[in-house]
């Protein structure tokens, strides 16, 4: 699966919406925007991973089989962006989450039954991308947008026993709603924002493979 293909396909799908006549106040352009929010990062499956040894005769000897899953978790994020034009903007984001990694081990050559091993992971994401505002589709004060970008992922396993690093590509969309706008004040505007994203992660220890994670988040954004 090509991460860029997935991202472009999702952006194209999100732009197919129905235009509405009602228009909402536009967000200030050319100003620094800072957002703080919370969200939910979906789980992901790593699939089955057999562990084999080669015998003296050259045949495989199955030690055990494992199936690993990364659980869903709450996330916290800080976002900084700038609106370049009424339609286009750029932004960067830092997010932290603490999912649980579970491995179910079965067919163990030295033990009977199935048992589960779990550990907590500290996951940090640093990403940046482009935001495209769909101004012509505003309705009921809601301004829809689509977004896409890339970033860096760092995972610290429990006790810092293992560090994984990798890349992330994302595409998504959502909407913002302006709460107030007062151009002569230090805080020129405030708005609420909702995001829905599809993330494609590729980590160093998972060579030639990637996994999909959905995420959603809500934040409040201040314009200075």
Q: What is the pLDDT of residues 151-208, one digit of tens each?
A: 999 989 877 678 889 999 999 999 999 999 888 889 999 999 999 999 998 877 655 5
Q: 134: closest CA among 125, 121, 143?
A: 143
Does the pLDDT value for residue 97 go beyond 50?
yes
113 band by pLDDT with thresholds 50, 70 and 90:
low
- Between 113 and 96, the more confident residue is 96
Residues 86-97 have a mean pLDDT of 96
The CA distances from residue 3 to 51, 189, 197, in Å, are 28, 35, 13
In three-state secondary structure terms, 9 is helix
Question: What pTM does this model have?
Answer: 0.73
> What SS3 state is found at 12?
helix
CB count within 10 Å of CB 10 equals 20
Nearest by Cα to 126 from 148, 104, 150, 106:
150
Q: Which of 104-118, 132-146, 159-173, 206-220 has the lowest mean pLDDT?
A: 104-118
Average pLDDT, the chain: 80
DSSP-based three-state secondary structure for 213: strand
Q: 9-43: per-residue pLDDT in tens? A: 444 444 443 333 334 455 667 789 999 999 999 88
Mean pLDDT of 35-56: 73
């Amino acid at each position: 699966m090509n991460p860029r293909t997935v991202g472009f396909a999702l952006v194209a799908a999100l732009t197919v919406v129905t235009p509405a006549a009602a228009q909402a106040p536009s967000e200030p352009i050319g100003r620094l925007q800072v957002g703080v929010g919370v969200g939910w990062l979906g789980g992901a499956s790593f699939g089955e991973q057999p562990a084999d040894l080669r015998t003296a005769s050259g045949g495989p000897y199955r030690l055990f089989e494992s199936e690993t899953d990364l659980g869903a978790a709450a996330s916290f994020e800080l976002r900084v962006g700038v609106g370049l034009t009424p339609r286009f903007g750029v932004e960067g984001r830092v997010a932290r989450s603490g999912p649980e990694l579970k491995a179910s081990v079965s067919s163990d050559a030295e033990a009977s039954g199935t048992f589960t091993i779990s550990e907590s992971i500290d996951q940090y994401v640093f990403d940046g991308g482009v935001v495209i505002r769909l101004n012509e589709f505003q309705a009921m004060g809601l301004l829809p947008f689509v977004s896409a970008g890339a970033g860096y992922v760092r995972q610290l396993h429990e006790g810092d026993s293992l560090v994984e690093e990798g890349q992330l590509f994302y595409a998504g969309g959502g909407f913002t709603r302006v709460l107030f706008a007062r151009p002569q004040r230090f805080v020129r505007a405030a708005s609420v924002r909702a995001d829905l994203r599809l993330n494609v992660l590729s980590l160093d220890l998972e060579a030639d493979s990637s996994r999909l994670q959905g995420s959603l988040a809500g934040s409040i954004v201040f314009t200075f």
